[in-house]
Copies of this chain bind each other. A is one copy, B any other.
Amino acid sequence: MTRENLIQFIRQRNSYLCVGLDTDIELLPPHLLKGSDPVFEFNKAIIDATRAYCVAYKINTAFYEAMGAAGWSIMEKTVAYIGKEHFLIADAKRGDIGNTSRQYARAFFDTLPFDAITVAPYMGKDSVTPFLEFPDKWTIVLGLTSNPGAADFEMLSTSNGLLYEQVLKKVSSWGSPDNLMFVVGATQADSFTHIRSICPSHFLLVPGVGAQGGSLKEISLKAMNDDIGILVNVSRAIIYASSKEDFAQAAADAAKAYQQEMSLYL
Asked if B68 and A72 make an inter-chain contact with CB atoms under 8 angstroms apart, the answer reads: yes
Closest to A166 in B: B156
A63 near B: Cβ within 8 Å?
yes
Nearest chain B CB to A263's CB is how many angstroms away?
A: 29
Q: How far is the CA of A125 from the CA of B154 in the complex (A)?
A: 11
A177 near B: Cβ within 8 Å?
no
**Chain A 29-43 against B: per-residue CB contact (8 Å), 1 yes, 0 no?**
000000000000000
Q: Which residues of B contact A157 (CB under 8 A)?
A: 158-159
Q: Which residues of B contact A22 (CB under 8 A)?
A: 99-100
Q: Which residues of B contact A159 (CB under 8 A)?
A: 156-158
8 Å CB contacts to B: which residues of A123-177?
123-128, 142, 145-154, 156-159, 163, 166-167, 170
A214 near B: Cβ within 8 Å?
no
Q: How far is the CA of A183 from the CA of B81 in the complex (A)?
A: 39
**Which residue of B67, B126, B153 contacts A124 across the interface (Cβ within 8 Å)?**
B153
Q: Which residues of B contact A13 (CB under 8 A)?
A: none
Nearest chain B CB to A72's CB is how many angstroms away?
A: 4
Nearest chain B CB to A64's CB is how many angstroms away?
A: 9
Nearest chain B CB to A230's CB is how many angstroms away?
A: 19
Q: Which residues of B contact A65 (CB under 8 A)?
A: 72, 103-104, 107-108, 111
Q: How far is the CA of A122 from the CA of B124 in the complex (A)?
A: 12
**Which residue of B62, B122, B142 contacts A154 across the interface (Cβ within 8 Å)?**
B122
Closest to A77 in B: B69
Query: How many copies are assembled?
Result: 2
Asked if A123 and B150 make an inter-chain contact with CB atoms under 8 angstroms apart, the answer reads: yes
Asked if B104 and A62 make an inter-chain contact with CB atoms under 8 angstroms apart, the answer reads: yes
Q: Which residues of B contact A212 (CB under 8 A)?
A: 97
Q: Which residues of B contact A142 (CB under 8 A)?
A: 122-123
Q: How far is the CA of A106 from the CA of B71 in the complex (A)?
A: 13
**Chain A 78-102 against B: per-residue CB contact (8 Å), 1 yes, 0 no?**
0000000000000101111111110
Closest to A75 in B: B69
A24 near B: Cβ within 8 Å?
yes
Asked if B149 and A125 make an inter-chain contact with CB atoms under 8 angstroms apart, the answer reads: yes
Asked if B104 and A125 make an inter-chain contact with CB atoms under 8 angstroms apart, the answer reads: no
**Which residue of B96, B99, B149, B170 contacts A127 across the interface (Cβ within 8 Å)?**
B149
**Which residue of B68, B146, B148 contacts A76 across the interface (Cβ within 8 Å)?**
B68
16 further interface pairs, Cβ-Cβ under 8 Å (given A69-B76, A125-B152): A22-B100, A62-B103, A62-B107, A65-B107, A68-B111, A69-B69, A69-B73, A91-B96, A97-B147, A121-B122, A122-B142, A123-B142, A123-B150, A123-B154, A124-B151, A157-B159
